Amino acid sequence: MSTARLRTVCNRDCPDACGLVATVEDGRLVRLGGDPDHPVTRGFLCSRTTQFPARQNDPARLTAPLLRVDGALRPVSWTEALAFAADRLLSIRADSGPAAILHYRSGGSLGLLKYVVDLFFELLGPVTLKRGDICSGAGDAAQETDFGDEESHDLFDLRNSRGILLWGKNPFVSNVHLLPLLKEARARGARIVLIDPVHHKTASLADAVLTPRPGGDLALALAVAARLFETGRVVPAAPSATEGFETFRALALSKGVAGWAREADVDEPAVELLASTLSDRPCNIQVGWGMGRRTNGSAIVRALDALGALSGNLGIPGGGVSFYFKRRGAFDTSFLRKASARTLSEPLLGREILEATNPAIRAVWVTAGNPVAMLPDSATVARALETRELVVVVDSFLTDTARRAHLVLPTTTLVEDDDLLGAYGNHWLGASVPVVERPPEVRSDLEIVQALAAEIDARSGAGSESALAPRLAGSARDWKRRLLSRIEPLGLTVERLERESVRNPLAPELLFAGNRFPTPSGKMRLLTELPLPPDDEPGYPLWLFSNSTERAQSSQWAGTPPDVAEATCHPDAAPGLADGALVVLESEVGRMRARLKLDPLQRRDVVIVPKGGHYDSGTCANVLVRARTTDAGEGAAYQDCRVRIVASPD
């Protein structure tokens, strides 16, 4: 038996972009561990990734193209698959124009070479694209508005913090490599406060835990701002360093501490705890991504940015309001012309596909995504795809989306990947390299569009000036070099990144020193008006939280998914129903079966189910979520879903 231990980098939609050490026996992946030499990974992984070998070796993995024939997906050759795709794309483009084709790309892989797929569709069209961001759109818009840029202090700057506010953040599930830094901080005496309507494991790391009502984070932040104003703890530099200072001050004081605290469903001592933690500088605010997934999500993040400014925690070591790290900032994607194209709102995608005219959407190509399971109002997304003339899905498994395709093309997995990665939870960059051989009929996304471009050129008789294939030519390593052209002169070569992950040399250690911001005025912009609250939904008393779990991430399950989803709530939220009972969750737009888990540590107005799941097996929480957007950034307001629990008739 031959055994090898090989290094690569994780490409999953996770903030950490971990360094991986793969144990391969006779060409088969048997173990994944964390790279001990990676300064963030520190030799350990999340439980989801440690279980990936089972998924890699799953016999359900796709190893040949599938074409729908007489209503069923049948294996075909790549020659037949590419000919079918090219013929249909060219026909639709000729009849209706390129805007009749939608390219939907998401974060199933965060590899930078996926931009070459974007280039293919730009050259083919430009085709219709999605706009907005279901995950972080509201927070992105908030910080770009407030600061003129969206970045974070160096991750290890937390070692300078006297206080850390984990506002809506659960690192045990969503950011595990933050945990060692939090434990170090607490051991040296830093105060850690967790603010979250849901009780979870991170409470074990906190000195104090606050549980505002769902969606009450904005009111709580304004209560803290009012407390800072009323007690004279707003730093003297704040008025001159910000735009809209007096308007924000009036907004915060309009209800006072007591009024905003009541709206947030917290007591006034809790407000003082946050105000004093912020005032004992330096204090860092770690902003969770879930809060932005509300109709007031951007305003919430903007209010947290304002707390950083008022308390003097911007531009100093150990401070900052950390939402996102620029994972793409070091890479050169200028090969994309970013030609003007029609766009559809990602959170409303199912509805917008169905309603699109002049031209209608006739074809959908899906890269690195499973929109049926991922997007709000899954039933409408499924119906939208089922009624298109052509749906092509590139994936490694037969997902809910792939089952609705006319053509499914098998692509590489995490450990067969050849790409570049940047993290959005730290500043480290790395390169993924194949550590096992892929099945013979599996191709990378890059190879798929290169072959499709050649097929289209041959069928369309394209001359040298209009041919697609030459614009896409090059190996994965060639494209890696092109993407690294900005930082290769600084020593970040492909070869080096394949040996080790390296901190982005363009990323600052500290943001906004001296209260200087890259806005037109050079000042930070403060929130000056509040969005409208979400519509009331009588008869639906519980707020649905569809959260990632330690076991599964969205529809990417580790091992066999459950037959029925688990719904966790306080006993008072499901009166008369026993722990373990089969129930039905109902919303205004859908229903799903679940098995009840009673937890007296939860608020009485929430119910928690795993994020994502599988639409066709009835475990997808997004069947319950109405499609609507956030107040800015066109994020998806997943967390403003109201439900009720009823006994199952089964």
DSSP-assigned states of every residue in 351-393: HHHHH--SS---EEEEES--HHHHSSSHHHHHHHHHTSSEEEE
Q: Which of 368, 389, 390, 372 is nearest to 380 (CA)?
A: 372
CB of 407 closer than 8 Å to CB of 85: yes
Among 4-18, 453-467, 634-648, where is mean pLDDT lowest? 453-467
**DSSP classification of residue 511:** S
Max Cα–Cα distance, the chain, nearest Å = 74
- Residue written as token pair 């959908």: 364
* Stretch (H or E) spanning 608: strand 606-610
Residues 6+ apart with CB under 8 A from 111: 11, 417, 419, 420, 421, 432
Q: Phi and psi (nearest 5°) for 383?
A: -65, -40
**Is pLDDT of 126 > 80?**
yes
pLDDT computed for residue 32 by the predictor: 97
- Residue written as token pair 């904005």: 218
Condensed to tens digits (0 to 9), the pLDDT of residues 149-165 reads: 999 999 999 999 999 99
Strand partners, 410: 395
CB of 163 closer than 8 Å to CB of 193: yes
Condensed to tens digits (0 to 9), the pLDDT of residues 504-530 reads: 999 999 999 999 999 999 999 999 999
Condensed to tens digits (0 to 9), the pLDDT of residues 421-453 reads: 999 999 999 999 999 999 999 999 999 999 999
pLDDT computed for residue 63 by the predictor: 97
Q: Phi and psi (nearest 5°) for 258?
A: -65, -45
User: For 332-344, b where at least 16 C-beta lie within 10 A, e where not — what string?
Assistant: beebeeeeebbeb
Cα separation of 289 and 294, whole Å?
A: 10
Alpha helix ranges (H) inside 231-374 = 238-241, 245-253, 256-264, 268-279, 297-310, 349-355, 371-374
Other beta carbons less than 10 A from residue 274's beta carbon = 27
Q: Which of 279, 306, 127, 144 is nearest to 217 (CA)?
A: 306
Cα separation of 382 and 377, whole Å?
A: 9
The whole-chain average pLDDT of the chain stands at 96
Q: For residue 161, what are the CA distances in angstroms to 56, 78, 153, 182, 276?
A: 41, 55, 11, 10, 14
pLDDT computed for residue 559 by the predictor: 65
Condensed to tens digits (0 to 9), the pLDDT of residues 240-260 reads: 999 999 999 999 999 999 999
pLDDT computed for residue 532 by the predictor: 86
553: confidence class by pLDDT, cuts 50, 70, 90: confident
Q: Which domains does the chain have, with CATH numbers?
A: 1-59+422-442+474-505 (3.30.200.210), 66-134+333-411+447-473 (3.40.50.740), 137-323 (3.40.228.10), 542-647 (2.40.40.20)
CB of 259 closer than 8 Å to CB of 268: no
Other beta carbons less than 10 A from residue 488's beta carbon = 16
